[in-house]
């Protein structure tokens, strides 16, 4: 049974909130994690939200009914090399940082980021943190009702802020979200600062089995996305078959260090005209080193 089917079954058993209503926020107990010299470090209570899959489907953020199993297979193909790379004996922290972007708007990168995160959350040995790094839009934050909630931008603007305290938990085991946060001045400069690298390091430091997925703005349409190249992670580029200009894709790839390009996700790869957004996805690894 696919992750979407499992989640839908959970939703069917539970009362469903009216469409458009805010998801309830729950308070979790403090979390203990290993600290220095064998001590136990206590993290602050984490905010939690419930995921409304009916609402996500209505918003077009997850596959339509009847396509869940097909898409579950697609995302297994995409996630498997990512999970294997992060669990390798010689894997560094950079293997746990994955930036998902596109050349231009409208390629399906946010859909890919969200559904890939839900697929990773199904793994038994790893967890996933989905970061809304499309700072000009904050689409993921709005999707989960987290607009205006402190997040990445707040951590960038305040060097005393602990970004882990801004992570929002969910009722899906192993699935967390870092919202975009509140608008501040000089976003491009903040993203290009050393602080952004520190935040990325922080998000992996205490969680050796956490995969961090950044939903980034399109490379050719946002200076913020290009500034994120400094993060020592891997890039997935989402492109739409029959839509993305070949030169735009080549220009986007040229902006990246080729050793960081993990692969290309081809949306509508085998769709006939008129089949719509949810037709097919293809995946291609890029380069010799995942």
pLDDT in tens, 156-167: 999 999 999 999
User: How much is the average pLDDT of 51-70?
Assistant: 92
Asked whether 22 and 148 are in contact (CB, 8 A), the reply is no
> Closest by alpha carbon to 50, among 134, 120, 145, 124?
145
Task: List C-alpha distances in Å: 43 to 96, 173, 178.
Answer: 21, 18, 16
Whether the pLDDT of residue 19 is over 50: the answer is no
Name the β-bridge partners of 266.
Answer: 239, 282
User: How much is the average pLDDT of 100-115?
Assistant: 95
C-alpha span between 39 and 192 (Å, rounded): 34
Among all chains, which residue has been given the structure tokens 């190249």? 229
C-alpha span between 108 and 102 (Å, rounded): 8
pLDDT in tens, 140-193: 999 999 999 999 999 999 999 999 999 999 999 999 999 999 988 899 999 999
> In the numeric block, which tokens belong to residue 82?
């990512």
> What pLDDT was estimated at residue 284?
57
Rg (CA), the chain: 18
pLDDT averaged over every residue in the chain = 81
End-to-end CA distance of the chain: 28
Confidence of residue 89 (pLDDT cuts 50, 70, 90): confident
Q: Tell me the residue length of the chain.
A: 290
Whether the pLDDT of residue 11 is over 60: the answer is no
DSSP string covering 56-84, please? HHHTTSSPPTT-HHHHHHHHHHHHHHHHH
Whether the pLDDT of residue 277 is over 60: the answer is no
**List of residues 6+ apart from 15 with CB closer than 8 A:** none
pLDDT in tens, 219-258: 999 888 889 988 888 999 999 988 999 999 999 999 999 8
> How does DSSP classify residue 110?
H
User: Under CATH, to which class is 66-285 assigned?
Assistant: alpha beta
**Better pLDDT: 286 or 122:** 122
Name the β-bridge partners of 132.
Answer: 215
């Amino acid at each position: 049974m696919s992750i979407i089917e499992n989640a839908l079954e959970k939703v069917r058993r539970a009362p469903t909130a009216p469409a458009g209503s805010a998801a309830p926020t729950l308070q979790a107990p403090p979390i203990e994690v290993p600290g220095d010299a064998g001590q136990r470090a206590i993290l602050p209570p984490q905010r939690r939200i419930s995921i409304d899959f009916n609402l996500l489907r209505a918003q077009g953020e997850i596959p339509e009914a009847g396509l869940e199993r097909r898409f579950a297979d697609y995302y297994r193909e995409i996630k498997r090399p990512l999970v294997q790379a992060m669990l390798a004996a010689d894997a560094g922290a950079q293997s746990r940082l994955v930036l998902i972007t596109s050349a231009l708007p409208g390629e399906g990168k946010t859909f890919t980021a969200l559904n890939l995160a839900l697929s990773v959350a199904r793994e038994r040995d790893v967890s996933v943190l989905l970061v809304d790094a499309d700072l000009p839009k904050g689409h993921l934050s709005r999707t989960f009702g987290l607009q205006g909630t402190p997040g990445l931008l707040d951590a960038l603007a305040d060097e005393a802020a602990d970004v882990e305290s801004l992570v929002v938990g969910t009722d899906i085991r192993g699935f967390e979200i870092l919202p975009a946060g509140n608008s501040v001045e000089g976003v491009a400069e903040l993203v290009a600062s050393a602080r952004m690298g520190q935040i990325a390091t922080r998000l992996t430091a205490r969680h050796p089995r956490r995969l961090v997925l950044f939903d980034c703005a399109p490379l050719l349409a946002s200076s913020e996305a290009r500034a994120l190249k400094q993060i020592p992670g891997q890039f997935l580029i989402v492109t739409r078959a029959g839509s993305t200009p070949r030169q735009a894709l080549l220009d986007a790839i040229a902006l990246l260090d080729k050793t960081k390009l993990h692969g290309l996700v081809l949306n509508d790869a085998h769709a006939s005209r008129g089949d719509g957004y949810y037709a097919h996805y293809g995946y291609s690894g890029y380069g010799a080193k995942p």
